[in-house]
Amino acid sequence: MSKQNIIKLREKLMSAVFLVAALASILAVGLICFFLLVNGLPAMGEIGVFKFLLGREWSPTDIPPVFGILPMIVGSLYVTAGAIIIGVPIGVLTAVFLARVCPKRLYKLLKPGVDLMAGIPSVVYGFFAMAVIVPLTGSSMLTASILLGVMILPTIIGLAESALRAVPEQYYEGALALGAGHYRSVFFIVLPAAKSGILTAAVLGIGRAIGETMAVVMVAGNQARMPVSLLKGVRTMTANIVIEMGYAGELHRQALIATGVVLLLFILIINLSLSALKNRSKQ
């Protein structure tokens, strides 16, 4: 067999491997969605879609049990919004510093530190918050927002920095040639040019925040009621599932799975919104 034929065979083999890997990923997502829908939708039908989504009371021990997840939906949205308000500005500004301002010697210290943050288990973040933040703000919505704002920083910083470095250097040099200063060139030329990547970073940060469980369970107070204050306890959808799944049975268990369906829909809406924003920015 000639060398050229061997190369073609290897290319076909690798194409097959990549195709199998892609199909496996799609199959895994499909099976997860199938499991959630098959086990969650019947519960919504039995409870009532509007009673389930808009009900303000969650009491599985009552007779008959009451399953309303509106407090958890609102709690998840509030906590995620707080995390984004804290994490996105800090993350983007940190990415700008690393990509355009930071000296090389300092960068060699800061970049591994940011990467290390991404590998810290969420339970460790939870212990840190319990020891440092909870004594100041209590087990509350504010504490959960601060903690999640810190946890999403590595995702936002890494993707935003990559987006900033992908902007052609000619943009920056052209702004300087026209008389703009360094920071004006960075914030008014380079940063807007990288907005697609920064939006992606923000959306992935939102996905990380809304899907976080263990750390939130440790610091949020876990009170299944409508949020009334930043300094009061709150329960998110993910926390509700992990707290009660261990002892739930029959309709209660199906209601928790249905909560997972709602959470999946939130993630889907976030991703579709990102695609719409990207398409709009290209027009």
22 lies in the same domain as 118? no
pLDDT value for 281:
60
Residues 209 and 161 in one domain: yes
Does residue 141 sit in the same domain as residue 16? no
Q: What is the pLDDT of residues 255-277, one digit of tens each?
A: 898 998 898 888 888 878 777 77
Could you tell me the residue range of the domain that residue 181 belongs to? 66-282
Check whether 6 has a pLDDT greater than 90.
no
For CA atoms 165, 167, 173, 179, give the dihedral sign. negative
How many structural domains comprise the chain?
Answer: 2
How far is 260 from 112, CA to CA, in rounded Å?
35
Say what the pLDDT of residue 139 is: 87
Q: Are residues 276 and 198 in the same domain?
A: yes
User: For position 98, what pLDDT does the model report?
Assistant: 92
Q: In this structure, are 12 and 149 located in the same domain?
A: no
Mean pLDDT of the chain: 86
* Cβ contact 61:249 at 8 Å: no
- In this structure, are 38 and 114 located in the same domain? no
Question: Are 74 and 41 members of one domain?
Answer: no
Is the bond preceding residue 64 a cis peptide, omega within 30 degrees? yes
Coil vs helix vs strand at 231:
coil
- Same domain? For 150 and 177 the reply is yes
Q: What is the rounded distance in angstroms from the CA atom of residue 186 to the CA atom of residue 161?
A: 12
CA distances to 122, 194, 196, 270 from 278, in Å = 31, 12, 6, 12
Give per-residue pLDDT as tens, 204-215: 888 888 888 888
Model's pTM, two decimal places?
A: 0.84
Please give the pLDDT value at position 153: 92
CA distance 156 to 85: 13
In a domain, 61, yes or no: no
